[in-house]
Amino acid sequence: MTVLPQEVIRRKRDGGALDDAEIAAFVEGLTAGRVTDAQAAALAMAILWRGLSMPECVALTLAMTWSGTVLAWDLPGPVLDKHSTGGVGDTVSLALAPAVAACGGFVPMISGRGLGHTGGTLDKLDAIPGYRSQPDLGSFRSVVAEIGCAVIGQTLDLAPADRRLYAIRDVTGTVESIDLITASILSKKLAAGLDALVMDVKVGSGAFMAHLPDATALAERICTVANGAGLPTSALITDMDEPLASVAGNALEVAYAVDYLTGRRREGRFHEVTVALGAEMLRLGGLAADEGDGRELIEAAVANGRAAERFARMVAALGGPNDILEHPTRHLAAAPVVRAVEPAGPGKVAAVDARALGLAVVALGGGRTHPDQAIDPAVGLTQLAGIGQEVGPGAPVALVHAPDEAAAARAVETVRRAYSLADIDVASAPLIRGRWTPESR
């Protein structure tokens, strides 16, 4: 019996439950091109409003997983990965993958483009000249086997249904659905053939989940579906009430990751999240006896330069420059206009609207408002002041990197409004706000 896309949309719109065959048919039509963008957007909105049951979510995840190739590996170590639900100034993947590889793990990290106000790892990699962020599967396999990590985007072979739906969700206001987030993330990870996965679920003003109960529900949903599908998965719920790093923007975040790996800059918040996630990856993959052991291993890999060496080899192997560590500014684009954002008056940063900062980067050209939009890799924000930091005359809350003066002026106002100041000391929220492990079920 033929399953009509419009009937699937109508059933979910009216609160009905979709069976496996309906979900499989819709995903197959999405992959083949028979389902239009409008129909995919309509179903995404219906799912956002009505939700999916656990069986529906599992069925959607598996249908998108098997819409393309599913990898299998034969490597002398565990195949591990981490995924963030998205934030501002979150370039952890570029540092974490090589650090875990330096500890004996193999990390075939399949990343996405930016969604809404959040930056995408794939867009950051595309800021590196020559870097093949979507290589063929043969090249992907060989780089992972030889170097221990390869951070890429979805190839045409891996979860193609998700790749199409991901772009549609970005521009139709359907990003925040827990069910769609779960299916999108896990379809890519299951297709990558992982032995274990660690989720970084963000919570706060710069996250899709602004409140802890929602972030906790998302972590539990993803972990439950993943473990039910045979993929050992744990999650850390981490703070995004301010940018994780002091930069936001694609080339700027690549430069930041290089500075972190080489030791030129080691900011505390960014380092703590990187180490915590790496420790959990090593523990879950059997490379560390416990969290403390894992932390020591990741700390050592970053401190002794082995993580930086793996990053440099990965970039070169995937077509990028072979001197990215030594000369990042030689290869990364720079914006022609840089303007300081002076606060309205002196004070200490009491709160940051991180989402507004992410949208400022999008408005500068560093993100998308429609699926096929080209991104300007050079634009963004640097020297972002953190909570508790003193600002005022001569101590701006940020620097705007813009394509022209008009865009800079608009961004300056947006960024200024994103900061709230106070006369008293204000402490940042704890970085690790929660944890979900298979043992905690």
Look up the domain containing 98 and give its range.
Answer: 80-328
Dihedrals phi, psi of 46, to nearest 5 degrees: -65, -40
- Which of 328, 361, 387 is the endpoint of a domain? 328
Residue 188 annotated in active site = yes
Query: What is the reported pLDDT for 115?
Result: 58
Residue 81 is among the residues annotated as catalytic for this protein: yes
Q: Which of 132, 164, 188, 401 is catalytic?
A: 188
Q: Is 121 a catalytic residue?
A: yes
**Which of the following is catalytic: 12, 31, 61, 82?**
82
Residue 96 to residues 84, 129, 298, 303, 306, Cα–Cα distance (Å)? 12, 21, 9, 13, 12
Confidence of residue 131 (pLDDT cuts 50, 70, 90): very high
Q: Considering the domain boundaries, does residue 212 fall inside one?
A: yes
Residue 302 and residue 353 in one domain: no
Do 324 and 337 have their domain in common? no
User: What would the mean pLDDT of 231-260 be, rounded to a whole number?
Assistant: 96
Of the listed 12, 65, 83, 162, which one is catalytic?
83
CATH number of 16's domain: 1.20.970.10
Strands (DSSP E) along 204-293, which ranges? 233-239
For residue 67, being part of any structural domain is answered with no
Q: To the nearest whole number, what is the mean pLDDT of the chain?
A: 92
Q: Is residue 430 part of a domain?
A: no
Q: What pLDDT band is residue 424 in, cutting at 50, 70 and 90?
A: confident
Residue 360 is predicted with a pLDDT of 95
Instruction: Please identify which of the residues 67, 184, 233, 382 carries the catalytic annotation.
Output: 184
293 is catalytic: no
Residue 357 to residue 215: CA distance in whole angstroms: 21
Domain final residue pick, 308, 328, 348: 328
Give the bridge partners for 90, in sequence order.
Answer: none
Q: Is residue 363 part of a domain?
A: yes
386 and 365 in a common domain: yes
Contact at 8 Å (CB) between 294 and 283? yes
Please indicate whether residue 117 is annotated as part of the active site: no
**What band does 2 get if pLDDT is binned at 50, 70 and 90?**
confident
Instruction: Say which range, 55-64, 141-150, 255-264, 297-306, has the weakest mean pLDDT.
Output: 55-64
Q: What total of structural domains would you count in the chain? A: 3
Grade residue 331 by pLDDT with cuts at 50, 70 and 90: very high
Q: Which one of 61, 84, 182, 238 is the catalytic residue?
A: 84
Q: Which one is catalytic: 81, 179, 353, 376?
A: 81
82 catalytically annotated = yes
Are 324 and 339 part of one and the same domain?
no
184 is catalytic: yes
**Residue at a domain's end among 289, 305, 328:** 328
- Residue 361 located in a structural domain: yes
The predicted model gives 352-375 an average pLDDT of: 86
Top-confidence range, 48-62, 115-129, 164-178: 48-62
CATH code where residue 133 lies: 3.40.1030.10
Same-domain pairing of 315 and 383: no
Residues 352, 215 share a domain = no
Same domain, 101 and 163: yes
Residue 170: pLDDT band by 50, 70, 90 thresholds? Answer: confident
Name the catalytic one among 31, 93, 121, 177.
121
User: What is the arithmetic mean of pLDDT over 37-51?
Assistant: 96
Residue 437: pLDDT band (50, 70, 90) is confident
Residues 6+ apart with CB under 8 A from 232: 195, 196, 197, 226, 284, 438
**What is the model's pTM?**
0.88
Cα–Cα distance between 336 and 333 in angstroms, integer? 10
Q: Are residues 374 and 290 in the same domain?
A: no
| Band of pLDDT at residue 180, cut at 50, 70 and 90 | very high
**Pair (128, 264) in one structural domain:** yes
| CA atoms within 13 Å, Cβ hemisphere of 104 | 13
Q: What is the mean pLDDT of residues 390-405?
A: 96
Give the range among 218-227, 250-259, 389-398 with minimum mean pLDDT. 218-227
Q: Is residue 95 part of a domain?
A: yes
